[in-house]
Amino acid sequence: MFPIAWAVVKVESKDTWSWFLKNLMADLEITNGGGWAFMSDQQKGLLPALAELMPFAEHRMCARHIYANWAKIYKGEKLQKQFWMITKSTNMADFRIHKQQLLDLTKDGYEALFQTEPRHWCKAFFSEEFKSDIIDNNLSEAFNGRILEARCKPIISMLEDIRVIVMTRLQKQRDEAAKWTGQVWS
């Protein structure tokens, strides 16, 4: 993971996400989002901002966060297992089977889960264009955990600490990659 942009805003909203995405698009020369996949934690305003500005981008949602919200009401080992079976389905046949099994377990839970479109959180719907089938954003969570102390500081100190954390990590990764041997295929 290579953090490439971050921002400090007063509140997460469609407007602040639109502002952020417009700047990101300009810097990375992204036009309509084609060829890009984004993963989020269901941040307020991000989905409509992405849909408007990058209609051809794939938007994935962290399955762990979807599960945590859903499991507040629909608890139990069977339901948990069934949720992850649906999420990890890699083809439509398996998706339909696991979806039906959830319906057999709980009609209300089924309806609640599918309020969020599975194209955002189930592997069966992910584009094969992207060589990643990650269904959670643990990488982002790890980054957020790493900058937790910095986030308690005044704004300038916070941003400087985050910059140093990112630059140090990038250099460490570069040093590790320099030790690799063998062929790298693209």
Q: Tell me: the pLDDT tens digits for 113-146? A: 999 999 999 999 998 888 777 787 777 778 888 8
pTM of the full predicted structure?
Answer: 0.77
Q: CA–CA separation, 148 vs 158, rounded Å?
A: 10
Q: What is the DSSP string of 24-87?
A: HHHHHT-SS-TT-EEEES--TTHHHHHHHH-TTSEEEE-HHHHHHHHTTTS-SHHHHHHHHHHH
Q: Do 67 and 50 belong together in one domain?
A: no
Q: Do 121 and 154 belong together in one domain?
A: no
pLDDT digits (tens, 9 = 90+) for 9-56: 999 999 999 999 999 999 999 999 999 988 888 778 888 999 999 999
Q: Do 161 and 99 belong together in one domain?
A: no
109 is in which domain, residue-wise? 63-135
DSSP state at residue 177:
H
Q: Do 79 and 128 belong together in one domain?
A: yes
**Tokens linked to 21:** 């995405």
